[in-house]
Amino acid sequence: MASQTGLHIKPQLLVGPVTALEFIEDVLISGEGPYLSVYSVERTTSILTEDVLSPCNIHGFRKGWSTSSLICVFGQKSVRILHLVKDHARYRIKCLTDICEFEDWIWDVAWVCVKKGDQNSVLSLALCHNVVLLWDWQRDSVLQRVTCEEKCILYCAKFVGQSWDDLVLAAGTVFNQVIIWSMNGQKDGQDQQVVLQRLSGHQGVIFSICFDPRTKRLCSVSDDRSIKLWQLTCTLNKTDNKMSDSAGYDMDEGDITLEDWSNMEYTLINTLYGHSARVWDVGLLEHFIVSVGEDSTCVLWSYEGKVIQKFKGHKGKSIWSLAVNESQNLLVTGGGDCSIRAWPITTTLTGASEVTEKKLALPVQTGSSITHADDFPRSVALLGDLVMLVMTNNGVLYKYEMLSSNWEVLMADTRYRSYSVLATSLCKRFIAVGNIHGDIKVFYLNDDALCVNQIEKSVYQGKVMNVLWLTDPGTDQCTKLLTSGSEGNVILWNVTTNADNICDLVKYANVSLPYCKQRWVSAAQYLHEEDILVCGDRGGTVHVYDCSHNGEASSPLQSFPKIHGKTGVTCICYHDNYVYTSGRDGQYRQYVFVDGKLELMNSNKVFKGLEWIDQLLFTSDGNMLILGFHTSYFVLWSVTHNQRLFQVDCGGGHRAWDFNLNQNIARFAYIKSGGIVACEGVVQLEQPILKPRIHGREMTRVVHLSTIKGTTCGDVHICATSSEDTTVNLVSFSHSSAGVCDLKVQNRLQGHLSSVRALAGTHSNYTPTSDVTRVLFSAGGRAQIKCWRVNVFSQIANTQNPTVPLHDVDNKMVSTEKGSSSVMKSDTVLLDTKSGYRDIINSEVLTKDKHNTLPDCIPIVDCAVHMSLGETEQTRTQCNHTLSKAFLLSKSETRNFDDESTNTDSGVPTCTFEHLGSHMLGKSGKKCYKPWKKFQYNPNPETRYMDLTALTASMLDATMPTDLHFVAAACSDSYVRLFCFNEKTRTFNILGQSAFHCHCVLCVGHKIVSNKCHNSVLIYSAATDGKIALWDVTQIIRQHVCAVVLQREENNVLFSTDSKNGSAYKRTQHMNNSYLDLPVPENIPNVDGSVTSISDCDKSHKHVNMELNVPKSTGTSVISQTGSHTANNTAKWSSTSHFDLKVEGIDMGDPTAVFHAHQSGVNAVSLKHIKDDWFILASGGDDNALHMTFLQMAAPEDKDGLLEVTVTGTAVNTSAHAAQITGVHVLDAKHLLTVSIDQRLNVWQLEDDCTQITLMESKFVNVADVADMDVWSSGENKYEVAICGVGLQVLSITL
């Protein structure tokens, strides 16, 4: 339909599956939807993006014979000829034809030669129903149409040959066969080409075919997960080459004529199985076979059928495209996760580096009284790149020079016979050895690895169980030695050296391990700034000790019992303000210090089967490396690239071993069968990623969080997306004048057990250091809902050595100086919020209720000036410019090491996040034997959260607390549930619920309705029964806020900060609490689920004069595991994520109003305030209909402030779309948007009489299976529309 005057829809961004790849000279071109993108493989950057085939998706590229810059782009039923022009260092696309559409789906295209000297004027096209067209693209004319006797539907096709006379087509049929037929062969009685050969053997349909003319091998892949390799042999003795002369091209040695094809024998030489799902594509190289499949794996095979490499960097399902550059030994894959990855082709097993092994034997010492020929090694250590240490059973410590193969004895002591422990420092200057008698010996080495000093101490009465060198996280200097003895006695030593290279050990701290079966330290990390020792024992428990106490052995401050199972903690390290632990349970865990205590943030597994993680390494570029054992293999795994880098078949982890990584050289030494084996290999630490991944599965929701204006990249939009892959992404994008609009994944939020189906966001005023702060709720399967705090920083100016203080959740000052990890016990104020504004960027969309009208201003704690909704981020930046000069992650914020797309461009806004809490229905009341997990859950797998909407209490009344967030959830068990999340205590409460719908509730939203007496909160819900219900939940929310405020007043838990000196003080706050002017029930539910009688409170207070007694900060906080109140009325709020749900909420009763709008499920609802008390309610459903209801809502004073809803009219379009509608948004009183599974974005206009809806324009969107739409204002009559499904597309609309 033609565009109406003034209406303009412009696509801005498309992120979707990469369906085509091809190398063109020194660049790579890709197809995403209709967009052709040009990438520099060397710089791994995008050069150019242009829409060339809209509305069709690009399925392939074919280069011209004479010049590779001549490209045929094809997809679905369309073809277009392009010329990729390079002007100096810049590229541009010149379209030589329009988009040409043909009669059927196109499977393959080939440039063919019809007459001499004319090689690029004609194309052959293979169509879906086994028809071949000869097309003159310059004249846009079909010269010939050839059909085959086999008329079945094809699933793939591949042309073989360059000449039209000798051209054959290898086609994969629906009958599991590969048929080969010629365009100019023998015909049957119906003038159709006869099939030359049928290749059978597959048990499923054929998805791809490849032919190599050099070796005359044909390969096919199938739905049965197999790859079949066929050898073609010509039985005809060829004596002349007349066909070459007549065709007019130079025939290579591997060219095959039609006569050859007619006399060809086909032999199945191999069937390969290595994919765990369907195989999509295959390529034949000179020495290898490469295949990609639905299991997101790229496999490199030898022609003998052996797996050479497996590349598993893509996430989710399916690698759709493949390109190979054999001259550079490089292959590139494009996946359904929207990423493009380059892989080096090597010749070693399973993707690891080529490894060389060298077996060593101990020297035979004839002149020594303690050394015998039957001596054997007990432990081994690598001292740098070229030096190895070996401790033998007879108490001899050898130093082995790898270059000269020279053995040197450092120590020969019979007291270290039969039992010894050996450890080397990270700086390679110190060696420590312990024995069974309780002695330790320390060697100090110089730069040439020569021993210049040694000392020995008797430490324990019994044997030394372990010795560990501890490294200062800030300097990587070894200043501490930890020794572990029997009975759990652990001593921490200071290691000192003077100018004469004399070292000494001075006892620094003595700690005692709690009793366990294997009571010794297996891993430890010392934090210098905090003076904290974190150690793990052989029983799998992690302990935290305060080393500042002198005297007797101290007990742990904290313990995480058996957090790594029963087989021991293997590694503890510190990186980027986080503590990491790993164990033989196959998991590594991330912790953060909050108020001087260690808090578990998340747990991660590497890959299935890797049950023994032994060490964690971090490279300078942030890559996290895992050292562990997979069956009998030692494995080096990159978490960032999701790839195995190095592996050695050493026999398993129960042996002495050591590993060293210097740049890209990996060295591994181990003991096996009484011998020493030294291994070496080159690892690829940096994998070229041309485009980072988004989600591995279909996207389910997209929510706009904020827009940062005035950056160097223009207006940057921050959104959250959720997916079936159980993750939530924080993404940013901006419109570029260069034609490249890239979407960057800022963070990946993990932790959901099942798919994430719903997102909702609200404002947060809890973190004053960021430019934008949002509270984000995510929910989905297993009845699980999570809460996150998202901080957006507008720019990064000095990240080399930043010292910007950031507030943590308890307003303690966090030092972010590089190398520091301390939580500073300081009273210094960080920000005078009374002199600054908080940002609120968009007036319409801030939660899943994308259609609400927010109050004119949002109250901010301790802020005297409020920012209106129309003001931008620039105003906020001007008020707080000192805070936007630098930025570093706060300790309570999480960083992902599997995120290859972290943004480091200066001037680009950056997001950080913090997990605040989680809730699941059906919490178990069983006793918890793992206290670090807080609670055990018994989730109901049948209940799913289908949709969320969220608002803050201050949106209802400006005097209400800003840390109370109310969330309404649409549930699959027919319930509409209302939660309250307390941002300060990080607790969820169910306030109310109703099963009115009696059917699965599909969507939910909210609206703040302004009345003369007070504001009201209206929740609207819709279900599969086609009904829309309106709920007035104002009374429930106000009662809960009242209970929270009264309880806080009673327990004196409202904290404040002096804006001058940062000290906590006692203040008297006079608040006009109009939200307390309501009928107060006799019993008010408390935030912990208990009930407070109103008789215990002062019933005469309608406007409460609250005097808040706040204790002075002592630098520490009391943490309660339960969050309940103590007898002395002092609240102990837990800083960890826990939940108080002793009651399941009250019945919300019947809704205020109900509308039967659709015949079946209602997928989307939008409620828009027009003027005064007039509203428009628009909905779209599975019946393809668009329904509009015009409402009048008011809350008369004589009705106790309860809303009354009156229907004034309706308008319906029963065929608004060709498929179910999944998104609706009312823009203003005259316009609204709808989006559907039919991939159409429709703009509708409401006529003046409000009885008819007219379609203004319909725009095709390139996202399949559209699941959700979000809309936000970007200016006057300008809107940004984000549509998600199988991909994400952003469009701009101007009315």
Q: What would the mean pLDDT of 363-369 be, rounded to a whole number?
A: 62
pLDDT for 836 = 29
pLDDT at 1113: 31
Among 627, 616, 619, 555, which Cα is nearest to 591's? Answer: 616
What's at 937, amino acid-wise? Y
Confidence of residue 5 (pLDDT cuts 50, 70, 90): low
Count of Cβ atoms closer than 10 Å to residue 589 Cβ: 21
DSSP E strand stretches across 1033-1104: 1067-1070, 1083-1085, 1091-1093
Query: Please, where are the H alpha helices in 151-219?
Result: none
Quick one: what percent of the chain has pLDDT higher than 70? Answer: 77
Residue whose tokens read 């994944």? 745
Q: How far apart are CA 960 and CA 549, in angstroms?
A: 45
pLDDT at 550: 63
Distance (Å, whole) CA 1271 – CA 754: 27
Coil, strand or helix at 1017? strand
Beta-carbon contacts of residue 1289 (< 8 Å; ≥ 6 apart): 11, 13, 14, 15, 16, 33, 1261, 1262, 1263, 1282, 1283
Under 8 Å between Cβ of 1059 and 1067: no
Write the pLDDT tens digit of every residue in 507-524. 999 999 998 888 999 999
pLDDT mean over 825-843: 28
Instruction: Encode pLDDT of 31-70 as tens digits.
Output: 999 999 999 988 888 888 999 999 999 999 999 877 778 9
Q: Tell me, what DSSP letter sits at residue 1095? A: G
What is the band of 438 on the pLDDT scale with cuts at 50, 70, 90?
A: very high
Residue-by-residue DSSP string for 775-797: EEEEEEGGGEEEEEEEEEES--S
Out of 145-154, 569-578, 899-908, pick the least confident. 899-908
Q: Above 60 in pLDDT, residue 1023?
A: yes
Over 60: is that where the pLDDT of 922 sits?
yes
Among 148-157, 212-221, 1111-1120, name the one with the lowest average pLDDT.
1111-1120
Residue 680 is inside which H or E element, if any?
A: strand 675-682
- Overall pTM surpassing 0.75 (yes/no): yes
Position with higher pLDDT, 87 vs 1041:
1041
Question: Using CA atoms, how far apart are residues 564 and 591, in angstroms rounded to an integer?
Answer: 14
Beta carbons of 1205 and 1191 less than 8 angstroms apart = yes
What is the DSSP secondary structure assignment for residue 894, as one 8-state letter? B
Q: pLDDT of 230-261, one tens digit each?
A: 998 887 665 444 433 333 333 444 468 888 88
Given 3-state DSSP classes, what are the helix, strand and coil percentages for the chain, each rounded to the nearest 5? 5, 50, 45
Q: Write down the pLDDT at residue 1070.
A: 37
643 strand-pairing partners: 638
Q: How confident is the model at residue 429 (pLDDT cuts 50, 70, 90)?
A: confident
834: helix, coil or strand?
Answer: helix
> Which secondary-structure segment (H or E) carries 1246?
strand 1240-1246
Mean pLDDT of all residues in 179-205: 90
The rounded mean pLDDT for the chain is 79
Q: How confident is the model at residue 1063 (pLDDT cuts 50, 70, 90)?
A: very low
**Per-residue confidence (pLDDT) for residue 448, from 0 to 100:** 73
d(CA 587, CA 828): 39
* Largest interatomic CA distance in the chain: 113
17 compared with 1201, residue with greater pLDDT: 17
Distance CA 39, CA 48 (A): 7
Asked whether the predicted pLDDT for residue 1247 surpasses 90, the reply is no
Q: How confident is the model at residue 1177 (pLDDT cuts 50, 70, 90)?
A: very high
Task: Give the pLDDT of residue 900.
Answer: 57
Q: Average the pLDDT over 80-97 and give the result.
A: 89
Q: Are strands 406-412 and 396-401 parallel, antiparallel or unpaired?
A: antiparallel
What per-residue confidence (pLDDT) applies to 975?
93
- Report CA-CA distances (Å) from 108 to 25, 156, 158, 182: 22, 8, 6, 15
What whole-number distance in Å separates Cα of residue 662 and Cα of residue 862? 52
Of the ranges 19-33, 993-1007, 1059-1073, 1175-1189, which one carries the lowest mean pLDDT score? 1059-1073
| 204 confidence band (pLDDT: 50, 70, 90) | very high
More confident residue, 235 or 1111: 235
Counts of helices then strands in the chain (DSSP H, E): 5, 92
Q: Is 80 exceeded by the pLDDT of residue 1079?
A: no
Give the pLDDT band (50/70/90) at residue 398. very high
Query: Cα separation of 629 and 612, whole Å?
Result: 5
SS3 of 644-671: the string is: EEEEEECCCCCCCEEEEEECCEEEEEEE
* Among 770, 773, 767, CA closest to 793: 770
Q: What angle do CA 632, 637, 643 make, to 5 degrees?
A: 110
Report the alpha-carbon distance of residue 576 to residue 816 in Å, rounded. 10
More confident position, 646 or 1059: 646
Sign of CA dihedral 186, 189, 190, 191: positive
Each residue of 656-700: pLDDT tens digit? 999 999 888 899 999 998 899 999 988 877 778 899 899 999 999
pLDDT at 835 (0 to 100): 29
pLDDT surpassing 90 at residue 596: no
* 741 or 1077: which leads in pLDDT: 741
Quickly list DSSP for 469-488. EEE-TTT--EEEEEEEEGGG
> Does residue 1039 have a pLDDT over 50?
yes
Q: What is the mean pLDDT of residues 273-285?
A: 94
pLDDT at 1203: 83
The residues near 2 (Cβ < 8 Å, ≥ 6 apart) are 1257
Q: Which of 268-272, 425-429, 947-951 has the lowest mean pLDDT?
A: 425-429
Q: Which CA distances in Å does 711 have to 227, 838, 869?
A: 51, 18, 20
Half-sphere exposure of 1033 (CA within 13 A, CB side): 36
Are the C-beta atoms of residues 974 and 1000 closer than 8 Å to each other? yes
> 896 pLDDT band (50/70/90 cuts)?
low
Eight-state DSSP code of residue 1046: H
Higher pLDDT: 202 or 886? It is: 202
Q: How far is CA 1102 from CA 38, 63, 1033, 1036, 1079, in A?
A: 67, 79, 21, 17, 10
What pLDDT is stored for residue 709 in this prediction? 83
- Reported as a single tens digit per residue, the pLDDT across 439-483 is 999 998 887 777 777 889 999 988 999 999 998 776 667 778 999
What is the radius of gyration, based on Cα positions, of the chain?
35
Highest mean pLDDT out of 664-678, 740-754, 1089-1103? 664-678
pLDDT of 778 above 60: yes
Tell me, what's the pLDDT at 237? 60
Q: Which residue has the tokens 């008329």?
A: 151
Highest mean pLDDT among 119-123, 363-367, 645-649: 645-649
**In the predicted model, is pLDDT for residue 1066 greater than 90?**
no
CA distance 116 to 1245: 59
Among 837, 877, 881, residue whose Cα is nearest residue 857: 837
Structural contact between residues 1087 and 1039, judged by C-beta atoms closer than 8 angstroms: no
Report the DSSP pairing between strands 319-325 and 307-311: unpaired
How confident is the model at residue 868, as a pLDDT?
A: 29
Q: Is the pLDDT of residue 906 over 60?
A: no
How far is Cα 289 from Cα 229, in angstroms, rounded to an integer? Answer: 10
- For residues 152 and 735, which has the higher predicted lDDT (pLDDT)? 152
pLDDT of residue 1170 exceeding 80, the answer is yes
Name the more confident of 828 and 993: 993
Per-residue model confidence (pLDDT) at position 1006 = 95
